Chains A and B, each alone.
Chain A
Amino acid sequence: MADAPPLLDVRGLSLGYATARGTVRALDGVTLAIRRGAAMGLVGESGSGKSSVVLALLGLLGKEAALAADRLDFAGEDLRVAAPRLRGLRIGTVFQDPAAALNPALRIGLQVAEPLVQHRGLSARAAHGRAVELLAEMGIPRAAAVAQAYPHQLSGGMKQRAVIATALACEPELLLLDEPTTALDVTVEAQILDLLERLRAERGVSMLLVSHNLGIVDRLCDGLTVLYAGRVVESGATEALLAAPRHPYTRGLLAALPRADRGRIGRLAPIPGSLPDLTRPDPGCNFRPRCPFAAAGCEAPQALHPLDARHVACHRAEMLHDAAWPAPDAAAADRVPLGGTLLEVADLARGFRLGRGLFRRQAEVRAVDGVSFSLRRGEVLGLVGESGCGKSTLGRLVLRLIAADRGSIRFDGSPVPAMPPDGFRRRAQIVFQNPDTSLNPRQTVDVALRRPLERFGLAHGAAATREVERLLDLVRLTPAYRPRYPHQMSGGEKQRIGIARALASRPDFLVCDEAVSALDVSVQAAVLNLLEDLRDTLGVAYLFISHDIGVVSHIADRIAVMYRGAIVEEGPAAAVLAPPYHPYTGALLSAVPVVGARGRAAARTRLKGDVSSAPTEGGCRFAHRCPAERGTVCRTQAPPVQQAGPGHAIACHIPVAELARAPAALAVAE
């Protein structure tokens, strides 16, 4: 078996893009091999070149790309010649974000059937019949009806199943998966991962899984290749590699990762610096400027060499065997004890009209439906839930950025009216998810930070300049950033400016709406540490909204779980992350892909459908997907709020004692 030639054999793959700034060396000597039936994970942060590998294999790089390789073979054929013939037939591809990968103007059935007509010469009718079968095999209910539907009529998970059905139509030997679940909710992601796992077991199809998420790769892949700035830094068996990474970059990645299964583990260790300039490739190790172990010899080219049943591109890897990754810088200050109640929200609600009355009947969705919570000074309340659960709407309602249908907000003891006074705006601010769209591209950092200072009359002229510099220092940026425009900064830097802008008016309360979701792990860790420091030094309270349970479990004191507009469980972070759970919390936690948790898959709670499927009127809003549903009670009566412990509330019909018997979805280290 070991002697059989690999199905995919890539050696010395290099790729250059000619740009105005010079040639960008996107890939530099990438080597990887996949055996028949094996699954290889290709991991790296944005800019690592992982998606370019997929396009190179498919022969779908643009004309401006210059490709070179010592070997680019698939089943003995050179892909540089054979790719146009093999793609779709023997190599299937699943791209990120099924909403973008499906053609909005064509019926699902046609799109799934296309490769069959093209490669297998089937008639349109026969291909359509086979497409319906394939959709059914992918676990799509009512496959015949779905085949007649257009993409916008399907949920995200169903779309991705259709895309996978298309990729598998001609029974390919290799499946290229480019971030196949990144655009999906965690419970839907778990369903898709189950499907991929089953396909691998049943059909023996080989996989190349490109992802930034180590947890997913760990679940699905037996091999792992780590890519940094276009070069392979480490590759080997997934389990061994993740258990004991040897390349400093891999070690850094794992140290920077907030992990739901470990709860709060003190501070994360960010990787300092940023991606090297790929127009001027470093002949030596290109991770050197960011590496805490850099020493003499690192400036020489690093070849992949075998070490501990893997390959590492670091000449010091063996030497560093026992050297620990440097501990993160200490917290800026001891945490201030939690103060009195700062924010009290009662029965907040907001509905949105759907359909805009053009073709569809007007329907109303209650995005936030009677939510109450309170927050103390210096406290972090994590708000988790899947897309569409209303968590972002709640964040905006709390700040009175959008009008509420009903409900009251009290801030620091006084009620906040629908049109809040300046004082409230100054003291309650927001950090948005995407710094690319929330920063004005035509404003320099200086202008963006000065504006709130002047708006609230806090500082003018030279005093404002000093204040801008203080804010930059607060988010660990130098005054040299003042004249910069957003496009002149990296994603992490932009998000720091977004945080600095929110802090300019010295608020007591920040809504962080997916504030770190767009960032790479190494940068995310730095921003999370920064937010913790600001909480500790300034006593700022956060409503921390995120879909990432790992991040929330790292930073939050308390966690609220939201489902379809209502909070179904709320309590101290450690209590929410362990039984007794609300059944939804349990399912959510068990769907989180965790590094180093093999075999957990079998014990998972699986949810059917997604948030949007089958509404329930009157009863528990989770009843239609609940794995523990108790029949009519759940479907007709609103669930009672039960106290499961001090400050720990669960809205469920099932007695707490019974909920407590649920298996722990995460092994939380206290």
Chain B
Amino acid sequence: MAGFLLRRLGSLAFVLWAMTVLVFAIVHLLPGSVAHMILGEYATNEAIATLEAKLGLNDPLPVQYWRWFSGLLGGDFGQSLTMERPAGPVILEALGRSAVLAGVSIVLVAVIGVSLGIHSAVHKGSATDRALTLGQYFFIAVPEFFWCILVILFFAVWLGWLPATGYTPIADGGVTGWAKHLVLPVSTLVLGLIAHVSRLTRSSMLEAIESRYVLAARAKGLPERLVLRRHALPNALLPTITVLAVDIGILIGGIVVVESVFAYPGLGRMLVYAIDNQDLPLMMGGMIVITAVYALANLAADILYAVLNPRIRVGGTAA
């Protein structure tokens, strides 16, 4: 297990490093001068040259890359070009708010998705199973920006129950005010993912229920509840865990859309802002952080998978 962890951490480090190269390359291959962007349309050539020299934009690319990369290693994301602040704290604050959004979402997806999937599998062919199946296909098919608009119209504009956009820190608006701003973004984020996860849980649970070892457990005379909980569920959950990790990637993509629509000040919205304003340090830092989150989620899923699967966790032969 220790060797496995070391190897996985090694490949994680490599992925993150490769991503820094990629992000840096993409950003610097984009047309347009950063100094020009900052100083505006009517800047003099001298002013631009002075700023370029100050920002080190005249240095060779490897030097620039190394300056940025060594800064990253020390936790320094550079100075935001538009905010007069270091990029690091900006990214961190946005990450914190996005993490709340994503964390609440993924927990809801896991709990509701898995429960619905199990229910469908156990009551295969029943009216609820058929209704759920229909709903699942519907929610998988409809994109989230459509839900964004629909729920804003319905709950915020028409019913006026919830705020359409924005964010209130707990310190200002209390828990209720804070939570109210989360309801709509979270629900639009999770609808499709719950459908996806419950669909998958249903099929893996069905496979487990129809397996020989579940038949053998029933032949032992165990009550059905125990058969499902002890014999079917642990095996059925393995594929679900892998998919949850993939869903975290989908969730991050969804956050960019949802945060923009709901004007939620998270990482996704920050990234859009950084791109709009050519704030390179913010943009690169945001992308690296998102990559890291995704890679760590996958690592966590792999470890969880190994812990739950004795065929990976325990090697060798006993007799």
Is B220 interfacial (CB-CB < 8 Å)? yes
- Count residues of B near A (Cβ-Cβ below 8 Å): 33
Query: A183: shortest Cβ distance to chain B, in Å?
Result: 11
Expressed in whole angstroms, the minimum distance between the Cβ of A463 and any Cβ of chain B is: 47
Task: Let me know if A93 and B216 touch, CB within 8 A.
Answer: yes
B216, B220, B313: the one within 8 Å of A359 (CB): B313
CB distance from A402 to the nearest CB of B (A): 26
Instruction: Check A100 against B213 for contact (C-beta < 8 Å).
Output: yes
Most chain-B CB neighbours within 10 Å: which of A89, A104, A118? A104
Which of A104, A115, A152 is in CB contact (< 8 Å) with B220?
A: A115
Judge whether B216 and A145 touch: CB under 8 Å: no
Q: How far is the CA of A102 from the CA of B211 in the complex (A)?
A: 10
- Measured CB to CB, the closest approach of chain A to B241, in angstroms, equals 13
For residue B306, which residues in chain A have a CB less than 8 angstroms away from its CB?
A: 359
CB of B230 closer than 8 Å to a CB of A = yes
Cβ of B239 to closest chain A Cβ, rounded Å? 13
CB proximity of B216 to chain A, nearest CB, Å: 4
* Residues of B contacting A89 in the complex (Cβ-Cβ under 8 angstroms): 221
Q: Is B3 on the interface with A (CB-CB < 8 A)?
A: yes
Pick from A60, A101, A119, A140: contact of B319, CB under 8 Å = A140
In the complex the two chains form, is A102's CB within 8 Å of B213's CB?
Answer: yes
What is the CB-to-nearest-CB distance from A670 to chain B, in angstroms, rounded to a whole number? Answer: 42
A149-179 to B contact mask, C-beta < 8 Å, 1/0: 1101111001000010010000000000000
Q: Which residues of B contact A96 (CB under 8 A)?
A: 212
CB pair A101–B4 under 8 Å, yes or no, is no
On chain B, the residues within 8 Å of A355 by CB distance are 315
Inter-chain contact A158/B319, CB cutoff 8 Å = yes
Contact of A97 among B212, B230, B316 (CB under 8 A): B212
A155→B219 CA distance, assembly (Å): 23
Contact yes or no, A104 B317, CB < 8 A = no
B302-319 near A? 1/0 per residue, CB < 8 Å: 000010111111111111
Q: Does A439 contact B (CB under 8 A)?
A: no
Q: Is A289 an interface residue (CB 8 A)?
A: no
> In the complex, A612 Cα to B318 Cα: how many Å?
12
* CA of A87 to CA of B317, assembled, Å: 31
Name the one of A84, A103, A148, A612 contacting B217, with C-beta atoms under 8 angstroms: A103
* B4, B309, B317, B319 — most chain A CB neighbours (10 Å): B319
Q: Does A95 contact B (CB under 8 A)?
A: yes
Bound CA span A65–B226, Å: 24
Taking a contact as CB atoms under 8 Å apart, the answer to whether A150 and B317 are in contact is no
Contact (Cβ within 8 A) A103 B235: yes
Contacting pair A150 B319 (CB below 8 A): no
Please determine whether B221 and A84 come into contact, CB atoms closer than 8 angstroms. yes
Measured between beta carbons, the chain B residues less than 8 angstroms from A146 are: 318-319
Q: How far is the CA of A166 from the CA of B231 in the complex (A)?
A: 15
Number of A interface residues at 8 Å Cβ cutoff, please give it.
43
- Whether A95 contacts B310 by the Cβ 8 Å rule is no
Q: A21 near B: Cβ within 8 Å?
A: no
Interface residue SS majority, chain B: helix
Q: Whole-angstrom distance between the alpha carbons of A104 and B231 in the complex?
A: 9
Contact B317–A612 (Cβ < 8 Å): yes
Are A150 and B222 within 8 A (Cβ)?
A: no
Contact check, A95 vs B220: say whether CB atoms are below 8 A apart.
no
Contact code string B179-220 (vs A, CB < 8 Å = 1, else 0):
000000000000000000000000000000001110111111
User: Which of the residues B3, B215, B223, B315 comes within 8 Å of A95, measured between beta carbons?
Assistant: B215
Cβ of A60: which chain B residues have Cβ within 8 Å of it?
A: 215, 218-219
Instruction: Mark out the residues of chain B between 265 and 319 whose CB falls within 8 Å of any chain A CB in the assembled complex.
Output: 306, 308-319
Tell me if B103 is interfacial: C-beta within 8 Å of chain A.
no
Q: Which A residues are CB-close (under 8 A) to B231? A: 103, 106
Partner of B4, one of A58, A142, A359: A359
Q: Are A101 and B221 in contact (CB under 8 A)?
A: no
Q: Which of B4, B211, B213, B234 is the most central at the interface, judged by chain A CB atoms within 10 Å of its CB? A: B213
With both chains docked as a complex, state the minimum distance between the C-beta of A101 and any C-beta of chain B, in angstroms: 4
Task: With A146-B319, A153-B316 as known contacts, state yes or no: A115 contacts B310, CB within 8 Å.
Answer: no
> Distance in Å from the Cβ of A657 to the closest Cβ of chain B?
38
- How far, in whole Å, are A359 and B6 apart by their CA atoms in the complex? 11
Partner of B219, one of A93, A103, A140, A612: A93
Find out whether the CB atom of B213 lies under 8 angstroms from the CB atom of A359.
no
Report if B1 contacts A (CB, 8 A): yes
Q: Is the CB of A360 within 8 A of B221?
A: no
Per the bound structure, the CA–CA distance linking A163 and B308 in Å amounts to: 23
Chain B contacts for A323, CB-based, 8 A: none
Give Cα A155–Cα B319 distance, bound, in whole angstroms.
7
Kindly report which residue of chain B lies nearest to residue A107, judged by CB atoms: B310
Say whether B318 contacts A154, CB under 8 Å: yes
Name which of B211, B309, B317 has the most chain A CB atoms within 10 A of its CB: B317
Contacts A105-B310, A145-B319 given: A100-B220 contact, CB under 8 Å? Answer: no
Whether A104 pairs with B319 at a CB distance below 8 angstroms is no
Q: Is A88 interfacial (CB 8 A cutoff)?
A: yes
Closest Cβ of chain A: how far from B82's Cβ, in Å?
47
With the chains together, A166 CA to B1 CA distance in Å? 31
Assess A119 versus B221: contact at CB under 8 Å? Given A105-B308, A140-B319, A360-B315: yes
The answer to whether A87 touches B219 (Cβ under 8 A) is yes
A419, CB-defined interface residue at 8 Å:
no
Contact B310 A104, beta carbon cutoff 8 Å: yes
Q: How far is the CB of B25 from chain A (nearest CB, A)?
A: 32
Minimal beta-carbon separation of A75 from chain B (angstroms): 16
Given A145-B318, A153-B318, A358-B312, does the pair A166, B220 have CB atoms closer than 8 Å?
yes
B1 and chain A: residue at smallest CB distance: A359
Q: Cβ of A359: which chain B residues have Cβ within 8 Å of it? A: 1, 3-4, 306, 312-313, 315
Cβ-defined partner of B212 (8 Å) among A84, A100, A145: A100
Min Cβ gap B121→A in Å is 14
The distance from the CB of A595 to the nearest CB of chain B, in whole angstroms, is: 29
Check B215 against A103 for contact (C-beta < 8 Å). no
A358 lies within 8 A of B4 (CB):
yes
Decide: B216 and A163 in contact? CB cutoff 8 A. Answer: yes
Q: Mark A81-94, 1 if CB is under 8 A from B, else 0.
A: 00011111100010
- CB neighbours (8 Å) of A140 from chain B are 319
CB-based contact B317/A155 at 8 Å: yes
Interface assignment of A420: CB less than 8 Å from any CB of chain B: no
Complex interface: chain B residues within 8 A of A104 (CB): 213, 235, 310-311
CA distance A149 to B316 in the complex (A): 10
Is the CB of A261 closer than 8 A to any CB of chain B?
no
Shortest B10–chain A CB gap in Å is 13
From known contacts A101-B216, A103-B217, A145-B318, infer whether A152 and B230 are also in contact, taking CB-CB under 8 Å. no
Evaluate whether A102 and B216 lie within 8 angstroms (CB atoms) in the complex, with A88-B222, A359-B3 already known. yes
Q: How far is the CA of A659 from the CA of B313 in the complex (A)?
A: 46
B237 — nearest CB in chain A belongs to which residue? A105
Contact partners of A101 in chain B: CB under 8 A: 212-213, 215-216
Q: Is A141 at the interface (CB under 8 A from chain B)?
A: yes
As a 0/1 sequence over residues 43 to 62 of chain A, the CB contacts with chain B under 8 angstroms (1 = contact) are: 00000000000000010100
A9, CB-defined interface residue at 8 Å: no
Known A-B contacts A89-B221, A118-B221; the reply to A150 vs B311 at CB < 8 A is: yes
Tell whether A114 is near chain B: CB-to-CB under 8 Å. yes
A-B pairs with beta carbons under 8 Å apart, 29 shown: A60-B215, A60-B219, A87-B218, A87-B221, A88-B220, A88-B221, A88-B222, A93-B216, A100-B212, A100-B213, A103-B231, A103-B235, A104-B213, A104-B311, A106-B234, A114-B217, A115-B220, A118-B222, A118-B226, A119-B221, A141-B319, A142-B319, A150-B314, A153-B319, A154-B318, A158-B319, A163-B216, A166-B216, A166-B220
A119-B221, A149-B314, A358-B312 known; 18 new pairs, CB 8 Å cut-off, are: A60-B215, A60-B218, A87-B218, A87-B221, A88-B221, A93-B216, A97-B212, A101-B213, A104-B235, A115-B220, A146-B318, A146-B319, A152-B314, A153-B316, A153-B318, A163-B216, A360-B315, A360-B316
- Which 5 residue pairs of A and B lie closest in terms of their CB atoms, listed nearest first? A88-B221, A149-B318, A100-B212, A88-B220, A93-B219
Query: Which A residues lie at the B interface, using CB under 8 A?
Result: 58, 60, 84-89, 93, 95-97, 100-106, 114-115, 118-119, 140-142, 145-146, 148-150, 152-155, 158, 163, 166, 355, 358-360, 612
